[in-house]
Amino acid sequence: MFYRENGQFKTSYRSDQQIFPVRQDRIFIFAVLLLAFVLVPLLASDYFIKALLIPFLILSLAAIGLNILVGYCGQISLGTGAFMAVGAYAAWNIGVRFPQTPLIVEILLGGFFATLVGVLFGIPSLRIRGLYLAVATLAAQFFVDWAFLRIPFFTNYSPSGNVSVPALSVFGIALQEAIPKYLFVLSFVVIFALLAKNLVRGAIGRQWMAIRDMDVAASVIGIRPMYAKLTAFAVSSFIVGVAGALWGFLHLGSWEPLAFDLNRSFQLLFMVIIGGLGSILGSFFGAAFIVLIPVALNHVPGWFGLPLAIDTAAHIEHMIFGALIVFFLIAEPHGLAKLWTIGKEKLRIWPFPH
Amino acid sequence: MGFFLETLFGGLMTGMLYSLIGLGFVLIFKASGVFNFAQGAMVLVAALSMARFAVWIPQWLGFNNLILANILAFMVSAVLMFMMAWCVERLVLRHLVNQEATALLMATLGIAYFLEGLGQLAFGASVYTINVGMPKEPAFILESMFEGGVLLNLEDLTAAVIAALLVASLALFFQVTATGRALRAVADDHQAAQSVGIPLNRIWVIVWTVAGVVALVAGIIWGSKFGVQFTLATATLRALPVVILGGLTSVPGAIIGGLIIGVGEKVSEVYIGPLVGGGIEIWFAYVLALVFLLFRPQGLFGEKIIDRV
């Protein structure tokens, strides 16, 4: 009844090619942005913002980055945690060695170094495909973990490999309280999500998708596999690197290489697959799912008044998490984004489906 | 030279363990096209159950015989692995037929999480030992050729013999029995196998059970050497380069790949490690596999991947 395109005529190429061609979608996105930028800072508690919203936003950003590689270009990567680590450590090193660098530049440079490493480890993708590639990208993960643990230069000779960031500020505003941090992260995520959305709609995005669907056929019609695959690795690891820098600087504050280990890579891949491969919106859904589930599972025993030992609770949480993942894969292998699309289709003809 | 040989033997022994874990991957991948990330969790659960039941069963039944306890524990654990295989087929694989490889990969990761949680919930999360009476004392060989001879761990040697026996019996099972033939048929071509009346679902249960038993043997060997604890599940990640090096579809590949990786890892750790700060064996195997893959993208013995438009 409310979600109808009737009467919305597109009279120019411009209006035909906009990101959200349906007016209701535009209103919805606007409402979400309003909610995120205005209402949440006014209403949400510090705990809610720091423990849930900021991790959710940063991981969504990382998931978008990974989704470009896995969902759009079809190259499975299990080394995402490594690229996050490169982003975080590179940004931190620049901050320590050149203290005058503005925060935004530091974070973007972190992304730049992640791009370099990402392209380097993307080169094997020109020869290796599918599951072989997935395991090969683990090389990046283990190598980077090792490098930050064992090469003291990267951690500025701190003995444990633990690094911490000094007080942050941007444009003279201190980023100590929850709300400024949240707004800073949110702006980053919104800008990058828009950029990503536009990239995958453009020529390069269509090349990635052609490579994903069948790389031999794509090269026959004149798409250069090397260019397409390496740009996907570059763009993906740039976004992931920026997310890593944000994760280290604004969420953790101080961290060690373990913060970006293999589990992080798996977690991000879960987000992408549960959210929906090849969907920017899906990355947000997936991140919300993975961030919220453990928190929710933590609280469930309390609701039923069951006193569980911490380790028992942790094991049960592990089990439920695994079972839920399998359940979602069976229920909807195309991810939450597909459910969203189905919902929209249904809504179009609601309440008279015939 | 003696030291080099020692390193080499050490590597071969570790490689044998990697081969065993890699074998589990290959069996399942061949039969169901699933890259089974839960193999590590299966090793963990199998080893935990072996370690615990070997203690519990004598307590329950009130006898004190190490060999009998171990045999019973092994049988109980094997039954447990069969139950796990049946559940996996019933609850997961059956519903995910014809899905993309990534979805299946993620599903096995979910299974891995589940098994890790379940195993530790049921059997406890502390460090356990498995005592199957493996000889612990070292032995020296080739004393006539080198001064002091070459130190060889009898435990490793026993483990290698067990692994070799397991591989041989598996090969026999695959070549001779009717079930083995059916398994090979499914591995070759799902549709053709199904059209001549081979029940895919039962084959999957069998193959996951076999992989579970292989995981059990790997878990026992690994556990009696280093103790059973949670790191067992992640230690199997070290065996991943083995399967891509040898080829995901090749059983001999898993074995030879395992030996190459085992030796490469040890030799590099001893000779290159000190130059760059040590601990390189974790990524060296992966880089080694990566270099091999650049020349043979389907692994050393994998089937050639042919793309047609």
**Selected residue with higher pLDDT from B150 and A187:** A187
Cβ <8 Å between B240 and A317: no
Nearest-angstrom CA–CA distance, A245 and A258: 15
The token pair at A224 is 């250069």
Q: Which segments in chain A show pLDDT lower than 50?
A: none
* Whether the Cβ atoms of residue B253 and residue B300 lie closer than 8 Å to each other: yes
Place of tokens 């283990």: A142
Give tens-digit pLDDT for A284-312: 999 998 888 878 777 776 676 666 677 77
Q: What is the pLDDT of residue B70?
A: 84
- Distance from the Cα of B305 to chain A's closest Cα (Å) equals 9
CB atoms within 10 A of CB A351: 6
B70-84 pLDDT, tens digit each: 888 889 999 999 999
Interacting residues of B181 by C-beta distance below 8 A, sequence separation 6+:
B174
* φ and ψ at residue A255, rounded to 5 degrees: -155, 170
- Chain B CB contacts of A129 under 8 Å are 297, 305
Q: How far apart are CA B181 and CA B47, in angstroms?
A: 29
Three-state secondary-structure class, residue A124: helix
Cβ contact, residue pair B102, A277, below 8 Å: yes
pLDDT: is A167 or B1 the higher one? Answer: A167
Determine whether the interchain pair A145/B282 forms a contact, defined as Cβ–Cβ distance below 8 Å: yes
**Residue A129 in contact with partner chain B when CB distance is under 8 A:** yes
The pLDDT assigned to B150 comes to 64
**Right CATH number for A48-349 from 1.10.3470, 3.40.190, 3.30.479, 3.30.60?**
1.10.3470
* Residue B145 pLDDT class (50, 70, 90 cuts): low
Which residue matches tokens 């994998």?
B302
Q: Which residue has the higher pLDDT, B267 or A158?
A: B267
> Which pLDDT belongs to residue A231?
94
Q: Give the tens place of pLDDT for each residue, B190-243.
A: 788 889 988 888 888 988 999 999 889 888 888 887 778 777 777 677 778 888
Token pair listed for B26: 């290959």
Percent share of chain B, pLDDT over 90: 5
| Confidence category of residue B144, pLDDT binned at 50, 70, 90 | low
Q: Do A319 and B121 touch (CB under 8 A)?
A: yes
How far is residue A96's CA from residue A102's CA, in Å, rounded to a whole number? 12
Asked whether the bond before A351 is cis by omega within 30 degrees of 0, the reply is yes
* B62, pLDDT greater than 90: no
Give the pLDDT confidence score for residue A85 in this predicted structure.
93
Q: Which residue has the higher pLDDT, B141 or B284?
A: B284
pLDDT at A111: 94
B110–A325 C-beta distance less than 8 A: yes
What are the C-alpha distances in Å from B242 to residues A21, B19, B222? 50, 7, 17
Collapsing DSSP to helix, strand or coil, B141 comes out as strand
Q: Give the closest of A136, A273, A322 to B102, CB-based.
A: A273
Is residue B106 a contact partner of residue B79, using CB atoms and an 8 Å limit?
no
Domains and CATH numbers, chain B: 2-295 (1.10.3470)
Average pLDDT, chain B: 81
Smallest CA–CA distance from B98 into chain A, residue: A333
Banded model confidence at residue B289, pLDDT cuts 50, 70, 90 = confident
The residues in B 109-168 lying below 8 A from A, measured between CB atoms, are 109-118, 120-121, 125
Of B120, B279, B293, the CB nearest to A146: B279
Which two three-digit tokens encode residue B198?
Answer: 């081979």
pLDDT for A224? 92
User: With an 8 Å Cβ cutoff, are B297 and A214 in contact?
Assistant: no
Structure tokens at B130: 């498995």
Q: pTM of the prediction? A: 0.87
**Does the beta-carbon distance from B113 to A262 stay under 8 Å?**
no
pLDDT at site B134: 67
Which residues of chain A make contact with B112, given a CB cutoff of 8 A?
322
pLDDT of residue A63: 94
